[in-house]
């Protein structure tokens, strides 16, 4: 499989009055061509910072990509000039944000906004851009596109606005689409419509998608692979089935257990006790130690070396280390003898 994007040892920090926040601390992952990769985690885990770093949208200062590489089509994005980066954004890599109202300019018609990107990046006449804009509106399922091009964002509902934002993101036919919580602000019935649309556009255009979300239901529906983040680190990566059915990191397990299931009857929810660590001074060891029911002495001191469970499944947890397994086996054996 061809890798379209590779992120290597990415570190992002923010300098604030109170100190330096280490928001992303050494993140490694890749994206295969044509797949949907979901980055999941709770607020403050660094998932949005990671995706903003790929787009080079980290405000500097206070933010900074302090270390690492982001390889997109053989080029390291962290080293590109702002001018070159501008030529890339919206053309090769596009982004969709959570709130469709703030992503659109309220004073311009939808048509102007749809055509703008195309006319900026390609030498194309206004008429040709309009044809393309109508084609995109049709693709994202907006009825009577020709008339609606003349309308303003406030004349559209939330779901329709998100469709327009998607059309805008796709109009230059990017290879990579980053969607940051694209359905979080929408009602469930509208969310269902938008998720169907994502599947459709991927089928039609073959675009690779990075989906950032906290909703595991959405992930179960449209992701191929999943990256689980916690306190600025990737703690587990795997295919959708590996992460849902054979999760190995206690945080991933905890996350899956704390979600209420519509299809299961009334057992009590099992929350993860405690709160994530402060990223001003993240712990030296595994950041989940304080909340982990299986924490060992080593966990607090040394960050676990990653364990490869399968070609696609990696986890950062000391419990997966051979020594821990041997220890657990002997403890189990002695308890059995007693």
Partner 1 sequence: MNEKILQVENLKKHFTVEKKQVLQAVNDVSFYVNKGETFGLVGESGCGKSTIGRTIMGLYEKTAGNVMYDGRNVHELTDKEKFGFYRNMQMIFQDPYASLNPRSTVKEVISEPMEVHGLYKSKRKQLDRVYELLEEVGLNRDHANRYPHEFSGGQRQRIGIARALALDPEFIIADEPISALDVSVQAQVVNLLKDLQMEKDLTFLFIAHDLSMVKQISDRIGVMYLGNLVELTASEALYEKPLHPYTKALLSAIPIPDPDIEESRERIILEGELPSPINPPSGCVFRTRCPMAMDICSIEKPQWQEVEQAHYVACHLYDHTIGNRDPVNT
Which residues make up the interface to partner 1 (CB under 8 A)? 42-43, 157, 159-160, 187-193, 195-196, 214-221, 240-241, 244-245, 254-256, 258-263, 265-266, 268-273, 275
From residue 111, alpha-carbon distances to 144, 171, 174, 248 in Å are 13, 12, 19, 48
Minimum Å gap between C-beta 272 and partner 1 is: 4
User: How many CB atoms are located within 10 Å of the residue 262 CB?
Assistant: 5
Minimum Å gap between C-beta 270 and partner 1 is: 7
Compare residues 113 and 162 and give the one whose CB is closer to partner 1: 162
* 3-state DSSP of 163-188: HHHHHHHHCCCCCEEEEECCCCCCCH
In the block, residue with structure tokens 């295969």: 32
> What is the C-alpha to C-alpha distance for residues 166 and 124, in angstroms, rounded to an integer?
21
Longest Cα–Cα distance of the chain, Å, equals 83
> What is the C-alpha to C-alpha distance for residues 72 and 194, in angstroms, rounded to an integer?
27
Compare residues 124 and 152 and give the one whose CB is closer to partner 1: 152
Compare residues 83 and 268 and give the one whose CB is closer to partner 1: 268
Sign of CA dihedral 284, 293, 306, 31: negative
Instruction: Show the tokens assigned to 101.
Output: 């109202």
Minimum Å gap between C-beta 21 and partner 1 is: 15
> What is the C-alpha to C-alpha distance for residues 159 and 193, in angstroms, rounded to an integer?
8
Compare residues 265 and 335 and give the one whose CB is closer to partner 1: 265
**Bridge partners for 315 per DSSP:** 236, 307
CB neighbour list of residue 262: distance below 8 Å, 6 or more residues apart: none
Compare residues 42 and 321 and give the one whose CB is closer to partner 1: 42
From residue 270, alpha-carbon distances to 211, 235, 257, 317 in Å are 26, 20, 6, 21
Compare residues 88 and 219 and give the one whose CB is closer to partner 1: 219
Minimum Å gap between C-beta 1 and partner 1 is: 20
Minimum Å gap between C-beta 63 and partner 1 is: 22
Minimum Å gap between C-beta 206 and partner 1 is: 20
Compare residues 305 and 310 and give the one whose CB is closer to partner 1: 310
User: How many CB atoms are located within 10 Å of the residue 153 CB?
Assistant: 21
From residue 54, alpha-carbon distances to 7, 58, 311 in Å are 8, 9, 25
Compare residues 1 and 264 and give the one whose CB is closer to partner 1: 264
């Amino acid at each position: 499989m061809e890798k379209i994007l590779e992120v290597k040892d990415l570190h992002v920090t923010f300098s604030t009055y109170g100190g330096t926040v280490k928001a992303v601390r050494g993140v490694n992952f890749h994206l295969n061509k044509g797949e949907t990769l979901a980055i999941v985690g709770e607020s403050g885990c660094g998932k949005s910072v990671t995706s903003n770093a790929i787009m080079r949208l980290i405000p500097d200062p206070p933010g900074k990509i302090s270390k690492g590489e982001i390889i997109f089509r053989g080029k390291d994005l962290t080293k590109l000039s702002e001018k070159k980066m501008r030529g890339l954004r919206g053309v090769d890599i596009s982004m969709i944000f959570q709130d469709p109202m703030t992503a659109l300019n309220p004073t311009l018609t939808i048509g102007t906004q749809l055509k703008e990107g195309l006319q900026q990046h390609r030498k194309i006449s206004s008429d040709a851009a309009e044809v393309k804009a109508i084609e995109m509106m049709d693709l994202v399922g907006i009825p009577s596109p020709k008339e609606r091009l003349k309308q303003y964002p406030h004349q559209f509902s939330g779901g329709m606005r998100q469709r327009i934002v998607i059309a805008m993101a796709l109009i230059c036919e990017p290879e990579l689409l980053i969607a940051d919580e694209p359905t979080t602000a929408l009602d469930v019935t509208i969310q269902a419509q938008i998720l169907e649309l994502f599947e459709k556009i991927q089928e039609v255009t073959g675009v690779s998608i990075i989906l950032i979300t906290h909703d595991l239901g959405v992930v179960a529906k449209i992701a191929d692979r999943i990256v689980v983040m916690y306190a600025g680190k990737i703690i587990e990566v795997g295919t959708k089935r590996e992460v849902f059915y054979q999760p190995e990191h206690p945080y991933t397990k905890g996350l899956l257990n704390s979600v209420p299931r519509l299809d299961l009857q009334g057992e009590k929810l099992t929350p993860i006790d405690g709160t994530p660590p402060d990223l001003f001074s993240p712990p030296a060891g595994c950041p989940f130690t304080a909340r982990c029911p299986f924490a060992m002495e080593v966990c607090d001191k040394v960050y676990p070396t990653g364990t490869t469970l399968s070609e696609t499944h990696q986890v950062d947890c000391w419990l997966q280390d051979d020594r821990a397994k041997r220890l657990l086996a002997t403890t189990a054996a002695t308890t059995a003898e007693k």
